[in-house]
Structure 1
Amino acid sequence: MIRPPLPRAPRLPPRQQRLQEVRAPPPQIRCRDTSIHNTFMFGDIKGVYAVLKDPAMVNALMETVHEEMVWAPEMGMWTLSSKVKQTSGLRLAASRGHTACVEELLFRGAEVNADPGGNTALHDACIGGHSDCVQLLLSHGADPEVLAADGSAPLHLCTSDQSFHCAKLLLEGGADINVRSRDSRLTPLHVAAQRGLEEHIELFLSHGADVLATNREGETPLNAACSGAERPSEAGRYRRVIQKLLDAGANPQTAGRKQHTPLHNACANCCPRIVDVLLQHGARADVENCAGYTPMDCLLQVVEDYPTQESEAIARSLLNYGAKPVSPKV
């Protein structure tokens, strides 16, 4: 049986062929030249102009090789292994806040949502608190909700006082205030509460952050704030954060999977004013966690670690709100 010949793909006219060739993206360049990396990292705009004379360098992969000792179980010994870390010129410039370099790269067609190495330039700009770079990236189409390789959205990476304006720009750009990190299921409010960021808390609450949201461990932002208040010198701002969360409807009786309540955390950190605020808002002084420990037990276990704190005042407050005078477990 004679089969008919297969139809051929239509041939493009010469002009269309030329246009297609022009529009075809060039192969991606891998660059391990430290001097070029430093050009973007240190914001050397003249150096950037020189590097970008080659258009393919706009989206070049910047690679660094690190020699690390790794355990090889099949050999039963430690071996020297080369690990390659990747980034881009746009990421390097954005991470250091070099606005002029970022603007030049974007003007020349840098891929704004590219994530070599696991982060986009927007993630890096937020980590550094560089709001001018964040604004530039968003205006050129950066995705305000893109997740990094570790599952973090840009809002999760606004973890310093300097990043407040970055967070504000992200929300104005359409970022979801209740976005969850991939594995831990943290919201931006969890992260801000853990860090004791007062302005961030106010901003997030004003945009509808869910104060009752729980992470993978079943903990709310209030749990996060009470566990984060570890340093006596920072107790004041954490108390204000906790007050804002309580005023917004946080429940001081919410316990995580280990039945550890915010009051357990506050007592473990020996924070008398935070303990008082929680008790005044309905925290239970006699509740036990999964190990059978009450807030009083948590306090007695850390008294020696906080000799200058008012541990007696905490114990008195707990007793006034129904704690047992003596715990048989301590």
Structure 2
Amino acid sequence: MAEETFPFTSATLRSLRLQREWLEWEDRRRAAAQLCRSQRCPPSSLARLARPRRSCRDPAVHNALFSGNLQQVQALFQDEDAANMIVETVSNQLAWSPEQGFWILTPKAKQTVPLTIAAARGYTDCARHLIRQGAELDARVGGRAALHEACAQAHSDCVRLLLAFGAKANVLSEEGTTPLHLCTAPESLQCAKLLLEAGATVNVAARDSEMTPLHVAAARGLEGHVALYLAHGADVGLRTSQGETALNAACAGAEGPSDGRKRQAVARQLLEAGADARAAGRKRHTPLHNACANGCAALAELLLRHGACAGVSNAAGHTPMDCVLQAVQDTPDWEPEGLFGALLDYGAQPVHPEMLKLCANLPRALEVLLNAYPCVPSCDTWVEAVLPELWQEHEAFYGSALAMVNQPRRLQHLARLAVRAQLGNRCRQAADRLPLPQLLRDYLLLRVEGRIQ
């Protein structure tokens, strides 16, 4: 009657509907309780009646939770029903509109619970109050439990609080991940320690990706996390759904040459724990392929010292040397000569002469590659690619290379190549062990001199 008489807003109609559902539930509960008394049913029969959660879009409630105002939270959440209500938020997100042909702001509703909001923002006092009012510790409204969000935001005090009140350390999100999977920031190391002390499983795999916490930590270069997981028995041989180990993840996660040092420390830990430097994923992509594709010379050399193969091909037929050449195209403003030298020292074959054009504007890298040949090959392809201003700046090198095309190299260079061929993939190790003068050692390892002789 009221709905037909007065122009109610949608929010008011929703409140009326929820109130009606609540009253209907109370009627069913009382009827069931009376039936149980008359038939002497066990009290557990009442558990079959699932209590509906209250839903709230009240801005005052949102403001209290998201700002962490303890006094308002205490005033608003005074019983179990309030502590477990569903909090609905609406945010505008960009979405592609095929009809209009451009991106538009589209409102998207999200659901969560008060305890998850407090834990995600590190409001420990608010979280404690909600727990004492009966908030469900492992509720996954919206996909994640409060412990997931506390770990994702590295709030160790909230993690400690939740675990102390009995939150499950291995609670799964709707995506099939544990809180340990969400310890993805350096600041979350204490959260990971608390979880492991509470019985978190270190080798648990995510449902779809099959990534373990060790995979996640290695991919993000979290040296402290990797050491912690290894100390608690993390298995370095476990593979993801794509067949990749944690070592693959560490090398693939490097974001360019500057990020290689951090990944090198993680990779060293994994290798010392028994990780296989040759382990390839389903596409036969090895950790060395990943390190070379990201331009990480020190990381690649570490893998080579631990047995990685410099000449292995992946499913696409690409060798680690091919990956470096591709990286030169994608990121031309770095110095790949160290990476080329390491691969050649560990047995990689010289690049095809046609590929020299990719390094035409990197004179130091080009010199290393040219010195891997007994004779400088025809250079029509790469000479045309050199920028005029760069040729002028490095005229001594480019001029010497041009003069030596198809000309006999010095006997000293030929002797160097003969020694390198004899040593094969042990060239780098042998140079370090042989009692050679430093100048001769550098020459053997294709030291950059600034000219071709």
Does the CA contact (< 8 Å) of 2:256 and 2:296 recur in 1?
no
Per the alignment, residue 114 of structure 1 pairs with 139
Could you report, residue by residue, the CA deviation over 1:190-219 in whole angstroms, capped at 9, with x for unpaired residues? 000000000000000000000011000000
Residues 217 and 97 (structure 1), Cα distance of their counterparts in 2 relative to 1, 3 Å cut: same
- Written as runs of structure 1 = structure 2, the 5 A alignment for 1:143-292 is 143-292=168-317
Give the letter aligned to residue 43 of structure 1: G
Verify: 1:37 aligned to 2:62, yes or no: yes
The CA deviation at 1:27 is 3.7
The CA deviation at 1:276 is 0.7
Instruction: Find the aligned partners of 1:171 and 1:272 in 2 and give their Cα distance.
Output: 35
Corresponding residue SS for 2:37:
coil
Does the CA contact (< 8 Å) of 1:268 and 1:302 recur in 2?
yes
- Written as runs of structure 1 = structure 2, the 5 A alignment for 1:114-133 is 114-133=139-158
The CA deviation at 1:306 is 4.0
Residues 309 and 68 (structure 1), Cα distance of their counterparts in 2 relative to 1, 3 Å cut: closer
Corresponding residue SS for 1:12:
helix
Instruction: Find the aligned partners of 1:329 and 1:175 in 2 and give their Cα distance.
Output: 54
The CA deviation at 1:55 is 4.4
Answer 1 or 2: higher relative contact order, Cα 8 Å, separation at least 6.
Answer: 1
Q: How many equivalent residue pairs?
A: 320
Instruction: Find the aligned partners of 1:132 and 1:264 in 2 and give their Cα distance.
Output: 41
Corresponding residue SS for 2:250:
helix
Corresponding residue SS for 1:65:
strand
Residues 298 and 40 (structure 1), Cα distance of their counterparts in 2 relative to 1, 3 Å cut: same
Question: Given the two structures, how large is their TM-score scaled by the length of structure 1?
Answer: 0.88
Verify: 1:63 aligned to 2:88, yes or no: yes
Residues 273 and 68 (structure 1), Cα distance of their counterparts in 2 relative to 1, 3 Å cut: closer
Residue among 121, 133, 137 paired with 1:96: 121
The CA deviation at 1:308 is 5.0
Instruction: Find the aligned partners of 1:239 and 1:179 in 2 and give their Cα distance.
Output: 25
- Written as runs of structure 1 = structure 2, the 5 A alignment for 1:287-326 is 287-307=312-332, 309-326=334-351
Mark the runs of 5 or more structure 1 residues left unpaired by the alignment: 1-8
Does the CA contact (< 8 Å) of 1:297 and 1:329 recur in 2?
no
Residues 78 and 295 (structure 1), Cα distance of their counterparts in 2 relative to 1, 3 Å cut: closer
Corresponding residue SS for 1:234:
helix
Give the letter aligned to residue 262 of structure 1: P
Instruction: Find the aligned partners of 1:327 and 1:179 in 2 and give their Cα distance.
Output: 45
Could you report, residue by residue, the CA deviation over 1:10-45 in whole angstroms, capped at 9, with x for unpaired residues? 7527xx999x99xx8864110012331221122100
Instruction: Find the aligned partners of 2:105 and 2:351 in 1 and give their Cα distance.
Output: 56
The CA deviation at 1:56 is 2.0
Does the CA contact (< 8 Å) of 1:197 and 1:241 recur in 2?
yes
Residues 138 and 329 (structure 1), Cα distance of their counterparts in 2 relative to 1, 3 Å cut: farther
Give the letter aligned to residue 266 of structure 1: A
Residues 68 and 224 (structure 1), Cα distance of their counterparts in 2 relative to 1, 3 Å cut: closer
The CA deviation at 1:232 is 3.1
The CA deviation at 1:70 is 6.6
Verify: 1:138 aligned to 2:163, yes or no: yes
Does the CA contact (< 8 Å) of 1:218 and 1:255 recur in 2?
yes
Residues 258 and 329 (structure 1), Cα distance of their counterparts in 2 relative to 1, 3 Å cut: farther
Corresponding residue SS for 2:282:
coil
Residues 232 and 42 (structure 1), Cα distance of their counterparts in 2 relative to 1, 3 Å cut: farther
Name the structure where helix makes up a greater proportion of residues.
Answer: 2
Per the alignment, residue 419 of structure 2 pairs with none
Corresponding residue SS for 2:304:
helix
Residues 297 and 62 (structure 1), Cα distance of their counterparts in 2 relative to 1, 3 Å cut: same
The CA deviation at 1:151 is 1.9
Instruction: Find the aligned partners of 2:190 and 2:148 in 1 and give their Cα distance.
Output: 14
The CA deviation at 1:83 is 3.8
Q: Which moved more, 1:139-148 or 1:153-162?
A: 139-148
Question: Given the two structures, how large is their TM-score scaled by the length of structure 2?
Answer: 0.65
The CA deviation at 1:303 is 1.6
Mark the runs of 5 or more structure 2 residues left unpaired by the alignment: 1-33, 356-453
Instruction: Find the aligned partners of 1:318 and 1:211 in 2 and give their Cα distance.
Output: 25
Corresponding residue SS for 1:279:
helix
- Identity rate, percent: 51
The CA deviation at 1:235 is 2.0
Does the CA contact (< 8 Å) of 1:42 and 1:93 recur in 2?
no
Instruction: Find the aligned partners of 1:10 and 1:303 in 2 and give their Cα distance.
Output: 78
Corresponding residue SS for 2:142:
helix
The CA deviation at 1:231 is 3.4
Q: Which moved more, 1:254-263 or 1:307-316?
A: 307-316
